[in-house]
Every structure is written in structure tokens, then in C-alpha cells.
Amino acid sequence: MRSTIGAALMLACCGAWANMAAQGQRSQVAGIDVITDRTNVKDVVVIVGTLPAGDAMAESGSIAIPTLTGMMLDRGTESLDKFAISAQLENVGAEISFSVATQSVEIRAKCLKKDLPLVLGLIASELRKPALQPEEFDKAKQQFIGALQGSLQNTESRAEEAFGRAIFPEGHPNRPHPVADYLTAAKSATLDEVKAFHAKYYGPAHMMLVLVGDVPVAEAQAEIAKDFAGWSGGQDYIRPVKPAVARGPREVPVVLNDKPSVSVILGQATGLRYRDPGTLALRVGTAVLGRGFTGRLMGTVRDKEGLTYSISAGLAEDTIADGSWDISASFAPELLNKGVAATRRELDKWWRDGVTDTELAQHKQGIVGSYLVSLSTTGGLAAAVVTAVQRGYDLSWLDQYPEAVNALTRDEVNAAIKTHLDPKTMVLVEAGSLGAAGH
């Protein structure tokens, strides 16, 4: 498959962008979905990849195992220890990193064009043949436990955890586990569990590699074919058949001591995936409420009333499974009640009356413009490609997206708001020093 990323819409939208057209190529190489996209940058290649081996894949086993497995990837392979791997990268100024998200392991790398074979070879070795040595496993466990302990005091992550657990039912891939449970699981995790998880979930099936920049396409594909030859296995993402259902109104306090700012989340599960009808309309409508400095929330709760430094609204976690909608903000404890009341007031008004034609036109233009600017770097383009493909689109979506946004009508947007959201049943989470607010 071959697609011209960026060209068609840019020509239709504004002539200035027509020069930005980049060539995207997509093919199966060694069982991996490989996408390459050449841009004007010289000598630089950015690699972004995904593999379905995230936290949600823990199933009934230890919930710490997916993250611990991901942490073991850069701690040595069957042929190189971690210092040798790092030295090879440092000697050419290249970078490789792995992180574990809800459903996927995310691979990120950056290198000079001349070093692409080295970097692809190391990524392949680290994914396929991690050493999984006991000594390194103990160190990974200690660092994971330390990081978890640190997050216990973070108001934002504690609010997100409480919100996710309040809106997603048991068994839903987007339902997070409590940090305390992760701590318990991490302490008792075994290397055998990591080896079993790696054997089951790491493989080319459903894996994606995106290479953007000064990419020598044929050479890169040949290198991937060589480095990943003979690899098999892998699992698909978890795609719940039945969407999550909100359980009704509730307020969830998370009390943390000595926190001068309270993190607040107000929202609900949507039951929507990104590609579902109505999701894009809801996203654009939500932009009117909570995007940037000109969204209604910033315009009122921050600019007019001075109640917060940061407040925004958006949809999340809907790439693979059905996701969530929320308003996130921070308030001083003594302004918390006033801030939440102001937030609810704006939410209710937006939900009840919808958006205006003027607001919709302005935010559509801003969303499209910002999207096009974001494609001007290799990192921005790579991220857009990965997200689009994970959402189930082909590369032509990158051109079609602005058209889809521009085609939305006010009636469609306001109907999506009314259909998919209900302020009366939303969950309110407050994390911080709540005693100071008189709670």
C-alpha cells in the first residue's frame, strides 16, 4: 500500500502546506506492520513502535509482570550486557527506549541515517532475546517499587487512578490497579513469570514499526527482514465487546498530606472508541469547552475568575478500547469548592446549550491548523502515524482527518455531546490536602 501523507488535504485546505507532502509506505516485513515515511530532514531517523504487551495483558497473573518485562528489555540480551548495548548507542549518539502503557509496549528510537542498521538490530535483539538475568531482575524490581512509592505522593497520578477505577468496571482493560496492589505484586514477582509473559506476548503479530525522517526505505525494510527473521508469536490487543458503563454519580476523595494544590478530575466513561460514530464530533465539541486558552473553561474559570492555573477537557484511552471523557484541573484547597462549582456551571451550560456556530468554526480551524503544524517534525509525524494505525485507519486518514473535522456540523456536535455525556452521573475525584478545604 502506498499513500501520500499530507498532500491532498493541504492542497485543499491552504496552498502553503502543499510543499509538505511526504511519502508514506506500508508493508508487512517479517510479520511486522512496517511504515516508512521520508521527510525533508537530513540524516535523522526517528523510530516509533508498538507491541501489544501492556499492563492490561496481565490477565489473572501478577499485575507487575508486564511492566517488569518491559523494564528488562534494555538490561542485556543473550549476546550483549546492558553496558555493551548502551556503549554501542552512546558511541554514535543514538537512543532507544521502551515504555509500558495500558495495552502496549512502546518503542522509541532516534539515530543518524548511517546508524539505522545498528539501531534496528539492537531493537530486534532487545525485543527477541532479552537476557532476563536474575541479578538484573532484582534491580528492576527495586526500581519499579521505588517509582511506585514515589507516585503514592503524586496528586495527579492518584487522581487518575481513582477516576479510572470509578468509571471502568472490573475486567476492563482501561481500569487501573491501585498503586498499593502494584507494590504488593512487584515485591512477589518472579523471573519465571516474566519469562512466561515474554514468551506469550512478545512477537511480530500486531507489532508496528514506524520510521520517519531521512529513511533509506529499501535498506530499512531489508534490515528489519533480516533482524526479525524467524520470530513468531504475539497477541492481539484487548478489544472489549461490551463498552464500560458508568455506575452513577459519586464523589471520590483521595487525601494526601501537605499538598498545596488539589488535583481534580470530573468525567465519565464514554463507551466510545475513536472510530465510533459520534466520537470525532464529541472531540471537536469538547475542544470548545476545554481546548487551550480560548476554550470556555480557561476563558472563565482561569481568565475571568482566577481560580486555577490549569483546566482542560478531553477524551482519552479510546484508541483500542472504549474510553473516557474528563475535565482535569488544579485548585488551591481553599478555592476547591468554588473551583468545582465554576467548573460544573460551565459544564452544565455547555451540555445544555451546546456550542455556537462561531465557536465551532474557530475551533475547527484551530484543530486543523495545530494538526498540520504538528506534522512538521519527524516526531510529530511519527506519532500521528502510530496513532492513526492503532485506531484502525490506513495512512490516508492522515490526509482525511482535517476534512473530517471541517465537515462536522453544529447539530452533529451538539447531538454528540447530549448523546454520549451526562453531567448528572459524572464522577468527581479530588486528590490532595482536602482537610484544608473543609471536606
| Total chain residues near other proteins (CB under 8 A) | 94
**Per-residue x/- mask for other proteins, residues 379 to 418, rule CB under 8 A?**
xx--------------------------------------
Secondary structure (3-state) at 260: coil
Q: Give the sign of the dihedral formed by CA 91, CA 32, CA 47, CA 226.
A: positive
- Cβ atoms of 107 and 123 within 8 Å: the answer is yes
Asked if 256 touches other proteins (CB under 8 A), the answer is yes
User: Which of the stretches 265-273, 305-313, 384-392, 416-424 binds other proteins when contact is defined by CB under 8 A?
Assistant: 305-313
Alpha helices in 129-230 (DSSP H): 134-151, 155-167, 179-188, 191-201, 217-227
Instruction: Give the whole-angstrom CA distance, residue 55 versus residue 185.
Output: 13
Residue (44 or 408) nearer to other proteins, CB: 44
- Cβ atoms of 375 and 381 within 8 Å: the answer is yes
**Near other proteins by CB under 8 A: residue from 171, 249, 260, 277:** 260
- Cβ atoms of 174 and 267 within 8 Å: the answer is no
Asked if 80 touches other proteins (CB under 8 A), the answer is no
C-alpha cell at 373: 503544524
Asked if 34 touches other proteins (CB under 8 A), the answer is no
Closest CB 173 distance from other proteins, rounded Å: 20
Asked if 43 touches other proteins (CB under 8 A), the answer is yes
Residue (35 or 140) nearer to other proteins, CB: 140
Closest CB 96 distance from other proteins, rounded Å: 11
Asked if 143 touches other proteins (CB under 8 A), the answer is yes
Closest CB 258 distance from other proteins, rounded Å: 5
Closest CB 386 distance from other proteins, rounded Å: 17
- Please list, in sequence order, all residues whose beta carbon lies within 8 angstroms of the beta carbon of residue 255, skipping any fewer than 6 positions away: 432, 433, 434, 435
Report long-range pairs for 177-180 (Cβ below 8 Å, ≥24 apart): 177/55, 177/63, 179/148, 179/151, 179/152
- Name the percent of the chain in helix, strand, coil, to the closest 5: 50, 20, 30
Residue (272 or 288) nearer to other proteins, CB: 288
| Nearest one of 30, 75, 74, 64 to 205, comparing CA atoms | 30
Closest CB 248 distance from other proteins, rounded Å: 16
Closest CB 270 distance from other proteins, rounded Å: 22
Residue (370 or 409) nearer to other proteins, CB: 370
Secondary structure (3-state) at 405: helix
Closest CB 422 distance from other proteins, rounded Å: 22
| Phi-psi domain of 432 (left: phi exceeds 0; alpha: psi -120 through 50; beta: other) | left
Asked if 188 touches other proteins (CB under 8 A), the answer is no
Residue (50 or 308) nearer to other proteins, CB: 308
Residue (171 or 309) nearer to other proteins, CB: 309
**Near other proteins by CB under 8 A: residue from 57, 63, 65, 162:** 162
User: Which of the stretches 47-55, 232-240, 256-264, 392-400 binds other proteins when contact is defined by CB under 8 A?
Assistant: 256-264
**Near other proteins by CB under 8 A: residue from 255, 275, 352, 411:** 255
Closest CB 44 distance from other proteins, rounded Å: 5
According to DSSP, residue 110 is labeled: E
Asked if 310 touches other proteins (CB under 8 A), the answer is yes
Instruction: Give the whole-angstrom CA distance, residue 228 versus residue 124.
Output: 6
* Residues 196-215 contacting other proteins, CB under 8 A: 213
C-alpha cell at 36: 516508512
**Near other proteins by CB under 8 A: residue from 252, 404, 415, 436:** 252
C-alpha cell at 384: 500521528
**Per-residue x/- mask for other proteins, residues 284 to 303, rule CB under 8 A?**
-------xxxx-------xx
C-alpha cell at 152: 503514592
